[in-house]
A and B are shown apart, each in its own frame.
Chain A
Amino acid sequence: MTSLLIGLFLATLIVALFTMRLYRLILWYSLNSLTLALLAITIGVNIDDSAMIISGFLTLVLKAFLIPYILKRVSIRFDLSRQIEPNIPVHYSVILVPALLVFTFYLSEPITNMISSNTNDVAISISALFLSLLLMMEHKNIAPKIIGFLTIENSLFLLGTTATNGMPMLIELGIFFDLLMAIVIVNLLFGHDDEEIAQ
């Protein structure tokens, strides 16, 4: 089950990289967060860690539903361009993404060698981090860059879950708080006459 969810996490991220429509990208982010939430709940149940189960449910509510909803509202309110053309053409991305995956697996080998359990999961988390950075880099528009930042945060959450069996609860809550603050700031930054920059 864990492997399936991690596979889906990576798959949703890869599809997000090829997406050229903003609402689709928000949807893929939402699904990415959903798989992450289910993964945290599954691992939490397996190792009987209530803190991780709570984190999973918070991820489900905040990242899978609330943040995508707010992002969609923001994009409607400020009439953001729904066409998000990546800087890197898709036919190059088709080669680049698998190459990046292989490269990060190779790059993270010394790290995964040090971690006793879930080594493949840790490698996938690091790959996801690089793919999220690619998502941030390959778009000129601000909205996909914000989603790139949110997927980086998802990848780090996955890394924390797989490499350390979860961070302490207080820290997880703090990270959630900061994420919500980031969304508030994004909303404020889009305010008034920022549309031309956002485009």
Chain B
Amino acid sequence: MIYLLLLPAFIMLILSFWNLEKSKFVLPVTSLLILYPSIRLFFLPKPYKIWGEYLVADDLSAYIMLVSSIVAISVTLAVSTLGLHVKISNNAYAKFYRFFALFWIGLTLSIVANNMGIYWIGLETATLSTVYMIKTNSTVMARKEAWNYMIVGAIAISLILFGIILIYASAKPILGERAMDFSALLLNAKHIKSPFLFEIGFAITTLGMFIKMGFFPMNLWLANIERASFYPVAALFSGILESAVMIGFFRFSKIASIVNSAHVFIFVFIYTILTIFIVSFLIYRAKDFMRLFSLSGVEHMALIALFWASGGVFAALLHFGAHAFLKPALFLSTGILESRGKYRIAGALRGYSGIKGKVFYFLTGLFLLAIVSAPPSPMFFSELYGFASMVELAKTNKHLLLMIGAIILLLILLSIIFYRFIEIYQSMKYEGVEKKKVVYGNEVLALIIFSISLIALLTPWSFEFLRSIS
């Protein structure tokens, strides 16, 4: 199974050294190979040992693996026409694929890791490979942001390792070397003799993860990096890298909740509300698509973390899936939306002709409305269920009024974001000058894959599966 999971990435790595003009069109087909192990993993009895105790698939990792595979396939599909939208040399193109392959290997390891150390190694590999992917854009800004990412990413990843060492130190007296395993920690969390040490470790690890996702107070670095890099890098960031970070948060917080659920909730609650508070105003002032989508991604990640910490596992996972499909779809659309310049929002949804153009226009419009939770977007349902889980949690600890106050504040902040998105949508559709824009078949196909995946997410079968993940 491990070979099958890593095979498409290895093929991509090898092909990146060959004639790019030919391999560029083979790569989307090879990326399809990931579907087989991902779907197989989905139906195998869980927990399924992929590689001893180190890599073990459970329902959560199988779900995230499938979501990430779909994103990877669609991004590979859209990347083949990247050169038609932006100026990129063949050498940079080949390097992009090379580091995309390494990124994919790292993230696959992180997603199916049952070991904190392997999770970290995968995440570090992915982080480092992204640094060079940012630099494939040859502008001075991209190169500066690649260095910035190297520094901020290094600090974030070091904090995660620092926390992991403390968690390991807290559990080693009772578990020995198995204190590195998520499954062993989950089973024995109650018996940890130094819960305070574990909690410090969890807080530091979570801090590192939150920095990587652009949470408070590091709200702008991710948006700057995504603005500076080519749009598929932003799609990979939001669709796969953040998913891998989030699965780590899910796993660590699940164990930490057994140690002390109240501490986990308060920590995540304060952090995420502060993040959404800042981000909503930043979104209100966003003047280009990349920053808009990037900041919106931070907002959604904060909501996922909040729903998860409130016990709304179903809501968090539904929101997670919807975000993983919607955000890369929107980032991939920016290649076309910004074809007349970065800050030309007015009229960006006008000038599409032919079947491909009309499908693009229709799907992008829908995605824009879906990302602000307009029904029947999966985000509409996930937010309803998420807020319900927050109320349910408050009922058990007699803080109902406080929680209702927090929900009202959140709704006000989400309304600001909703208002801004609708304003932009109307400007894209009804303002500006109509100029003809070119849409390519593979890009439309990538958007169709995302929309089918979103519809699949809304089926009763998907809801039932997500509810079964505890």
Contacts and interface: CB of A to CB of B under 8 A. Distances in A.
A171 B120 CA distance: 9
B197 A194 contact: no
A189 interface: yes
Interface in A167-182: 167-168, 170-171, 174-175, 177-178, 181-182
B438 interface: no
Contact of B117 (A115, A168, A181): A168
Main secondary structure of the interface of B (DSSP, over half): helix
A182 B151 contact: no
A164 interface: yes
A177 B158 CA distance: 15
B128 interface: yes
16 contacts: A110-B200, A116-B173, A153-B158, A160-B168, A164-B169, A170-B54, A170-B117, A174-B117, A174-B121, A175-B121, A177-B121, A178-B121, A178-B124, A186-B150, A189-B131, A197-B144
Given A111-B197, A168-B177, A170-B118, 14 more contacts: A111-B166, A145-B151, A152-B154, A156-B165, A163-B166, A167-B165, A168-B117, A170-B117, A171-B115, A171-B117, A171-B180, A175-B124, A181-B128, A189-B150
Interface residues of A, number: 34
B147 A189 contact: yes
A181 B106 CA distance: 12
B168 A189 contact: no
B291 interface: no
A142 B125 CA distance: 21
B125 A178 contact: yes
B221 to A, nearest CB: 15
Given A164-B165, A178-B124, A197-B140, A142 B154 contact: no
Contacts of A170: 54, 117-118
Interface string B135-178: 10000100110110011001100100110011011101100010
Contacts of B196: 110, 114
Contacts of B143: 189, 194, 197
Interface string B98-140: 0000000000000000010110110011001101100100001
Given A149-B151, A174-B118, A188 B169 contact: no
A185 interface: yes
Nearest to A183: B128
Interface string A135-175: 01000001001000100110010011001100110110011
Contacts of B150: 149, 185-186, 189
Interface in A55-111: 110-111
B169 A167 contact: no
B415 interface: no
Given A164-B172, A177-B121, A152 B180 contact: no
A34 B197 CA distance: 30
Nearest to B116: A171
A152 B154 CA distance: 9
A27 interface: no
B194 A114 contact: yes
Contacts of A160: 165, 168
A185 B131 contact: yes
Contacts of B140: 197
B55 to A, nearest CB: 12
B287 to A, nearest CB: 26
Nearest to B178: A168
Contacts of A153: 158
B146 A181 contact: no
Contacts of B172: 164
